[in-house]
Amino acid sequence: MSSESSLERRLGGVDATTIGVGSMVGAGVFVVYPPAAAAAGNWLLLSLAIAGLVAYCNASASAQLAAVYPTSGGTYVYGRERLGEWPGFLAGWAFVTGKIASCAAMALAFGLYVAPAYATAVAVAAVIVLTGINLLGVTRTAWMTRWFISIVAAVLVFVIVVAFSEPPAGSGAGALAVTPYGVLQGAALFFFAFAGYARIATMGEEVREPHRLIPLAITAALAVTFILYFLLGAGLLRFMGPELLATTPTPLHAVMERVRGGIGTGALAVAAALACLGALLALIAGVSRTMLAMARERDLPHALSSVSQRFKVPWLAEVAVAAVVICLLLTQDVLAVVGFSSFAVLIYYAVTNAAALTLTERPWHAPKALNWLGLAGCLILAFTLPPASVLTMAGVLAVGVIGRAVFSPSRLR
């Protein structure tokens, strides 16, 4: 293994888009609708639209910057190049910590669907197996993700059709007290289910023709995901109403129970399991690429920049991600990590938009106003999350900043 080996550009536009869609349409879609409905009530689709708008602003900023800096690391690199070392470090640390927690949540969700009595053991096994797949090369990651997302998308479309065709199970009116704050909190929670397109940018050294394909892949992945989420949200509201939706932990399961013979619930269990696996597969790849970039700059231990000469993957970073995720699975309850992950990722994208504001050359469809909207949207949504999520992740980010101040690369040099 050599840290000097470079990654190889093996991904085309379809592969990059598939990894983005697979990263977004993961466990989030199976768990995010009830808490979002509890916050937003009848205005659930407005919350979804706000989350989609902020995600589009972020995607636009990511695409602009990825075209200029087609290297691994995403906003960690953009922040360093456009704003300075500290904003770049904050973005990288937010991404790594938030997404490692998300990896644990995805793995545990998979375990709960496959074998509830042995959820932790199954989750640990899934992390080990998928890390092994990632270590075999990025084209295998894309190939596996493509199969996963094809099955999951087909089942979700089936859920949408059933939700619109069956008689409603709940009242469509609802009596939930909703405030503008609740709508924004719903949008912030929905953001957890959107934050997958960053994986395309973090794999910038492995995409062919990155200046052209990365922006297209990010936009296409977000568009496909938003349409699927919007139709699913509209179907769930029509079928269950906001009150029942808010109090049903597994609303998609409730819809599929209407399908006779148990076929619907069985298909949903398979889809949920594959969605978790697909998202976990792409998450491990994305986090390891950001760790690779940070290790190159010695913001993380330099050994993590080691790249396999044979398979052209950051092998030590991927093993490190798997090890930390397994520790979380064995010691923590990570089901409440949605808020933690959302806060960290919103801070990450706030840095993305701030970096994009410094670009002088930009396409006509990406004016600075879009970056300002994205920056403001990220900060507003981040601080409308539950206070426990905000305080916990703010503490984690502070620990990283203090650690870098003590062990800064310049001081070590």
- pTM for the model stands at 0.80
C-alpha distances in Å from residue 42, one per residue of 33, 147, 170, 204, 245:
12, 35, 13, 40, 10
Residue 69's pLDDT band (cuts 50, 70, 90): confident
Residue 334's pLDDT band (cuts 50, 70, 90): low
Q: Return the H-helix or E-strand segment holding 231.
A: helix 210-246
Check pLDDT > 70 for residue 7: no
Pairwise pLDDT comparison (207 vs 63), residue with the higher score: 63
Least confident piece of the model among 111-115, 151-155, 262-266, 408-412 = 408-412
Phi, psi of 2 (to 5 degrees): -135, 135
345 vs 324: CA distance, rounded Å = 19
Check pLDDT > 70 for residue 141: no
Which of 335, 365, 410 lies closest to 110, judged by CA? Answer: 335
Q: Are 53 and 377 in contact (CB under 8 A)?
A: yes
Pairwise pLDDT comparison (101 vs 189), residue with the higher score: 189
Question: Among all chains, which residue has been given the structure tokens 């879609």?
Answer: 29
Residue 360 per-residue DSSP state: S
Which of 80, 93, 60, 56 lies closest to 344, judged by CA? Answer: 93
Q: Are 87 and 351 in contact (CB under 8 A)?
A: yes
405 vs 413: CA distance, rounded Å = 13
Least confident piece of the model among 168-172, 276-280, 294-298, 346-350 = 168-172
Q: What pLDDT, in 10s, does the model give residues 120-137?
A: 899 999 999 988 887 876
Check pLDDT > 50 for residue 240: yes
Question: Among all chains, which residue has been given the structure tokens 């456009």?
Answer: 82
Residue 388 burial by CB count (10 A; 0-12/13-18/19+): exposed, middle or buried? exposed
Q: Where are the domains of the chain?
A: 13-406
Residue 207 per-residue DSSP state: B
pLDDT at 57: 92
Which of 400, 287, 325, 380 lies closest to 50, judged by CA? Answer: 380
Mean pLDDT over 308-319 rounds to 79
Residue 19's pLDDT band (cuts 50, 70, 90): confident
Residue 139 burial by CB count (10 A; 0-12/13-18/19+): exposed, middle or buried? middle
Q: Are 230 and 44 in contact (CB under 8 A)?
A: no
Mean pLDDT over 300-315 rounds to 78
Check pLDDT > 50 for residue 88: yes
Residue 403's pLDDT band (cuts 50, 70, 90): confident
The CATH number of the structural domain formed by 13-406 is: 1.20.1740.10
Mean pLDDT over 31-40 rounds to 89
Helix, strand and coil content of the chain, in percent to the nearest 5, comes to 80, 0, 20
Check pLDDT > 80 for residue 160: yes
Long-range contacts of 313-316 (CB under 8 A, 24+ apart): 313/7, 313/134, 313/135, 313/136, 313/137, 313/138, 313/288, 314/7, 314/72, 314/288, 314/289, 315/1, 315/135, 316/1
Question: Among all chains, which residue has been given the structure tokens 């959107």?
Answer: 194
Residue-averaged pLDDT of the chain: 82
Mean pLDDT comparison of 61-75, 148-162, 285-299, highest-scoring range: 148-162
47 vs 54: CA distance, rounded Å = 11
Check pLDDT > 70 for residue 398: yes
Mean pLDDT over 30-56 rounds to 91
Pairwise pLDDT comparison (41 vs 297), residue with the higher score: 41
Q: Are 201 and 60 in contact (CB under 8 A)?
A: no
Mean pLDDT over 284-290 rounds to 80
**Other Cβ atoms closer than 10 A to 121:** 13
Check pLDDT > 90 for residue 346: yes
Residue 313's pLDDT band (cuts 50, 70, 90): confident
Residue 206's pLDDT band (cuts 50, 70, 90): low
The percentage of the chain sitting over the pLDDT mark of 90, rounded to a whole number, equals 27
Check pLDDT > 50 for residue 4: no
pLDDT at 2: 40
